[in-house]
Amino acid sequence: IIKQRKKTSRVHRLINSDIRLSKNLRLLNKRTFGLSEIRFVSMTRIFVGDSIVRKARETLERSIKLVEDTPKWGAKVLYGDTDSMFILLKGRSKDDAFKIGYEICDAVTDMHPSPIKLKFEKVYLPCVLQTKKRYVGFSYETRDQKEPIFDAKGIETVRRDACPAVAKVLERSIKVLFTTRDVSQVKQYVQNQCRKIMEEKVSMLDLVFAKEFRGMSGYKPGACVPALEISRKMLQHDRRSEPSVGERVPYVIVYGSPGLPLIQLVKQPFELLTDPSLRINVTYYITKQILPPVGRILSLLGIDVFSWYIDMPKIIRVVPHSVMPSENRKGTISQYFSSSNCPVCEKATNQNICDSCMQDPQKVTTVLNSRIRKWEKVHYRMLEICNCCMGAQDEKQQCVSLDCPILYRLNLALKDNHKGTHFRDIINKCFEF
């Protein structure tokens, strides 16, 4: 065992030394090329830099010509990067792709002098190529690999400039498309997610943006940047609460009066939690954030994703006017509407309870009390978990962790409790003689 361990450690040292040598050579080559192209230093040698670029381009062009001029492969180079090629093998299986891929690597390596070598990386099956350096697919790195790896480059699933809901919906849509090859199932999934967002059945954690703050002096005068707007609001509340440079500032987009610019709809997540009159702008999230990335993928198949959303029935959730605390009213449009449905039978009515339900007060009491008990039970459980996490039994002690999912579930339970107070008043009125 000791001898084997010594051999293993010796092999690891050799491998690590080769890796360090390769990195150092690459760094030296990059520095040489960079210094040769800079025109304001004494070491400028423009012809050296141009020669490096020209030789790299010639090597790539020769490789592309070899691949496309070999009939037995039937390959087409979709695009060639500085040191790589993206090759299409139309109508071939995974095993054929691996076989042809290794043959191409050997042929290109033999064509060029040492140490130039083309390395086989992976096979994508299936794959969607949007633009250069923006693609996604199921990747296989070896022939005997059974389960593929979801591999994405440059699209919203691996980028941080959108909210988490965008990445989740896009990734799941692509996986459904790749596994089922059925666009109707993708349509069903996308519409279900849009319906959940319109019904506000998703966690607010998935709808929070987080953009990097560049400092107060890092923006142009009059710049309309959400991170800057949130930072100004934080400074008005506390002069010591300015975010650090490079820190990501969270925010959400809410509904507002018609005609307001988007920058005025930017709110802190805690504002949305504490003010019942504020509502997530689901139209913005669906039409401006979620559907465009999915549309860029499916538009390659000639599918209009926005027509799926247009054909959906729209859901409007209204906050009852009597449920909202008066101290939190800010003058938004939702405060001028009240619920027009009976809470017992869901029929349209202009009263708290429809006339038919008023004739059966026992039914009203049973239905509404069951809802109240359910809401209170959920609220108690969420509050118990939250207090155990904070180590405090004081309900006034507020949680400040935006990454905690219990925070949002507790907030929803608290809103339901406010409805319970309203329902108790309805029950008492049913028994007034």
Domain locations in the chain? 20-78+104-118, 160-339, 347-430
pLDDT value of residue 13: 64
What count of other Cβ atoms lies within 10 Å of the Cβ of residue 282?
23
Task: Report the amino acid identity of residue 128.
Answer: V
Tell me which DSSP letter residue 314 carries: P
Distance (Å, whole) CA 358 – CA 429: 10
Distance (Å, whole) CA 228 – CA 266: 11
DSSP per residue over 115-145, as a string? T-------EEEEEEEEETTEEEEEEESSTT-
**SS3 (DSSP) at 152:** strand
Which pLDDT tens digit goes with each residue over 6-60? 455 665 665 567 677 777 777 887 777 776 666 665 656 677 777 777 888 888 8
Tell me which DSSP letter residue 350 carries: S
DSSP per residue over 210-256, as a string? EEE---GGGS-TT---HHHHHHHHHHHH-TT-PPPTTPEEEEEEB--
pLDDT value of residue 382: 86
Percent of the chain whose pLDDT exceeds 70 = 85
pLDDT value of residue 83: 77
Distance (Å, whole) CA 200 – CA 318: 11
Distance (Å, whole) CA 53 – CA 76: 24
Q: Where are the beta strands (DSSP E) in 361-426?
A: none
CATH level 3 topology of 160-339: Topoisomerase I; Chain A, domain 4 (1.10.132)
Contact of 402 with 205, CB cutoff 8 Å = yes
- Please name the residue that has the structure tokens 């329902």: 423
Taking 70 as the pLDDT cut, the residues of the chain under it are 1-16, 18, 35-45, 315-340, 393-397, 431-433
Task: Answer whether the bond into residue 292 is a cis peptide, omega within 30°.
Answer: no
Give the predicted TM-score (pTM) of the model: 0.77
What count of other Cβ atoms lies within 10 Å of the Cβ of residue 290?
28
Which pLDDT tens digit goes with each residue over 176-209? 999 999 999 999 999 999 999 998 888 888 999 9
- Bridge-based pairing state of the strands 85-88 and 209-212: unpaired
pLDDT value of residue 42: 60
pLDDT value of residue 150: 94
- Please name the residue that has the structure tokens 């389960």: 147
Q: Residue 93 is encoded by which pair of tokens?
A: 């299986």
Strand order across the beta sheet in which 149-153 lies: 123-131, 134-140, 149-153
- Please name the residue that has the structure tokens 């293993």: 8
pLDDT value of residue 334: 46
